[in-house]
Structure 1
Amino acid sequence: MLTADQIDRWLQEDIGHHDVTNDVDGETHGRLVAKASGVAAGIDAAGAVFDHLGVDADREAVDGDAVDVGETVLTTNGPARETLRAERVAVNLAGHASGVASKTREAVDRASEVADNVRIAGTRKTTPGLRGIEKRAVVAGGGDSHRLNLSHMVMIKDNHIAELGLEAAIERFRERASFATKLEVEAESADQARRAATAGADIVLLDNMTPAETEAAVNALGDNAADVLTEASGGISLDDVADYAATGVDIISMGSLTHSAPSLDFSFRTW
């Protein structure tokens, strides 16, 4: 949920304490226009920045819409001073979020060419303060948000296994977690994947494996395969996402969707 305090922080960071640049009288109209084709996201957040400063903002596109070059996604009407103050924050939000959504859509499309039931998911590799915007953008692009924070799922990673042992870690956290909380276990080999599934993992994370190793790990689950989900992760890019989709995994998580997506270019013009 986007809050007034969050918008205030964004604006204060950009405006500072003595804004002469935007000391403009009168009323004005504005429009946010796509300068590149992609998938819209962050449009409601951009509009909320204008709304917060008393500028009427009409959303012409919604998150998930395909947009073409020259298409208007947002129009505004209100005081010129406040419109200009909101402009850069709004454009940056829409551009960043739409870049995430566009990259996610491309990953989904490439994966679905070889496996129509595999999910593309984001990760917790998000920008502090912008996680909600970025997670929504992943969903707008057709992806899965994955866990939003540490409380949404127990994830047993290599450091937990090093400290506790794989089976002991699963037992420890299973005892402490709610019945409604899923437990995911990171595996770095086919043997570890099999052991995790046998010990009661709900999801097995196949980490930093090649596509061939990932497929071998999926096959190694044997009778447990129907009871667990498998997730591939670790440096997966648009170039090889289809190779991982062909391995039989249920989910492919990609940190690059949020930490490396280029912004979609937008322009804001007043008249």
Structure 2
Amino acid sequence: MHPLPDSRIDALLAEDAPYGDLTTETLGIGARPGRILLAARDAMVLAAAEDAARLFERCGARVVACTASGAALAAGAVFLEAHGPAGGLHRGWKMAQTLVEYASGIATRTRRIVEAARAAAPAVTVACTRKNFPGTKEVAVRAVLAGGATMHRLGLSETLLVFAEHRAFLDAAPAAWLADLKRRAPEKKVVVEVASVAEALALAAAGADVLQLEKLPPDAVAAVVRETRGLAPRPAVAAAGGVNEANAAAYAAAGCDVLVTSAPYFGRPSDVQVTLAPA
């Protein structure tokens, strides 16, 4: 995965210790050699381990072992080991631990949804929304990818997703504004969010490339899939709104192409155990 830039790593360190580590410095132990181990307290899917390693490196430590993000860890598995001066290890400790805990929580929930969905439909795609906590997108995206999903959209700048709130301002018929969108952005697919089977079928007939079904139950999703199967080209069908680990298999079995979910962002972090001691 593309690493966090050094400026972001430095900003994380500055957030926790903008003027140094008062306790470690006052105790006078900062130069003593030490070793830190990070381990999974419970089973989890690992995320952001490489960024945690770089936090320690920026603090003057040497990373001797680091498991790749995306690995499924058993309880007790050590995934990162670093050696260096106690001052550097203490400075990086809590930020590295917390970063991995939050990212791995997202990755673990993502993996569960992916596995549940693909048990019912092996080819289905799980895509996470941009509904991460503001300011955490870089880490959230890395966690989603580590969990085996993809991003539904990174933001407003790169995708065409037409909501009902957009259509409220349009006077033209759907076929006309869809054709105009495709003319203006010919390399983009046009996604439309709809809230009923009838609306989905009308916009499919008008030329939508992707139907994003908002909060429709699995049987309604199956109806849209069935009724649009004969169109050429056939629009892709995405189920969105309320998709989670408990219902992912039902939505996947309904025949949709994509499950769009925000569920991985909401839940407890994973638990990382830290052992920091003299070398």
- Shorter-chain TM-score tier: over 0.9
Larger Rg: 2
1:30 aligns to what? 36
Q: Tell me, yes or no, if the aligned pair for 1:208 and 1:234 is still in contact at 8 Å.
A: yes
Amino acid at match of 1:241: A
2:181 aligns to what? 173
1:200 aligns to what? 207
Q: Percent of aligned positions with the same letter in both sequences?
A: 31
| Corresponding residue to 1:41 among 37, 42, 47 | 47
1:254 aligns to what? 261
| Corresponding residue to 2:148 among 130, 138, 142 | 142
Q: Tell me, yes or no, if the aligned pair for 1:156 and 1:169 is still in contact at 8 Å.
A: no
Aligned equivalents of 1:16, 1:71: Cα separation in 2: 32
Aligned equivalents of 1:136, 1:228: Cα separation in 2: 29
Q: Secondary structure of the residue that 2:157 maps to in structure 1?
A: helix
Q: Tell me, yes or no, if the aligned pair for 1:30 and 1:76 is still in contact at 8 Å.
A: yes
Amino acid at match of 1:20: L
Corresponding residue pairs, total: 269
| Corresponding residue to 1:21 among 8, 23, 26 | 23
Taking structure 1 as reference, are residues 168 and 159 closer, same or farther at Cα in structure 2, changes over 3 Å only? farther
Amino acid at match of 2:184: R
Aligned equivalents of 2:93, 2:129: Cα separation in 1: 29
1:97-112 matches, within 5 Å, as 97-112=103-118
2:224 equivalent to 1:217: yes
Taking structure 1 as reference, are residues 169 and 49 closer, same or farther at Cα in structure 2, changes over 3 Å only? farther
Amino acid at match of 1:35: R
1:270 aligns to what? 276
Q: Tell me, yes or no, if the aligned pair for 2:50 and 2:66 is still in contact at 8 Å.
A: no
Shift of 1:242: 1.3
TM-score of the superposed pair, with normalisation by structure 1? 0.92
2:164 equivalent to 1:158: yes
Q: Secondary structure of the residue that 1:105 maps to in structure 2?
A: helix
Q: Tell me, yes or no, if the aligned pair for 1:167 and 1:199 is still in contact at 8 Å.
A: yes
What CA deviation, in whole Å up to 9, does each residue of 1:4-47 have, x standing for no partner?
22122212221233631232322211111110101111111111
Aligned equivalents of 2:187, 2:64: Cα separation in 1: 40
Amino acid at match of 2:178: I
Amino acid at match of 2:246: D
Aligned equivalents of 1:192, 1:34: Cα separation in 2: 47
| Corresponding residue to 1:7 among 9, 30, 34 | 9
Taking structure 1 as reference, are residues 18 and 94 closer, same or farther at Cα in structure 2, changes over 3 Å only? closer
Q: Secondary structure of the residue that 1:151 maps to in structure 2?
A: coil
Taking structure 1 as reference, are residues 15 and 247 closer, same or farther at Cα in structure 2, changes over 3 Å only? same
Q: Secondary structure of the residue that 1:204 maps to in structure 2?
A: strand
Shift of 1:172: 4.1
- Alignment RMSD (CA, Å): 1.8
Q: Tell me, yes or no, if the aligned pair for 1:41 and 1:140 is still in contact at 8 Å.
A: yes
Q: Secondary structure of the residue that 1:257 maps to in structure 2?
A: helix
Q: Tell me, yes or no, if the aligned pair for 1:191 and 1:220 is still in contact at 8 Å.
A: no
Segments of 5+ residues of structure 1 without an aligned counterpart are: none
Shift of 1:168: 4.8
TM-score of the superposed pair, with normalisation by structure 2? 0.90
Amino acid at match of 1:257: P
What CA deviation, in whole Å up to 9, does each residue of 1:184-204 have, x standing for no partner?
111111122122222222211
Aligned equivalents of 2:199, 2:252: Cα separation in 1: 21
Bigger shift: 141-150 or 120-129?
141-150
1:236-247 matches, within 5 Å, as 236-247=243-254
Aligned equivalents of 1:17, 1:111: Cα separation in 2: 48
1:66 aligns to what? 72
Q: Secondary structure of the residue that 2:143 maps to in structure 1?
A: helix
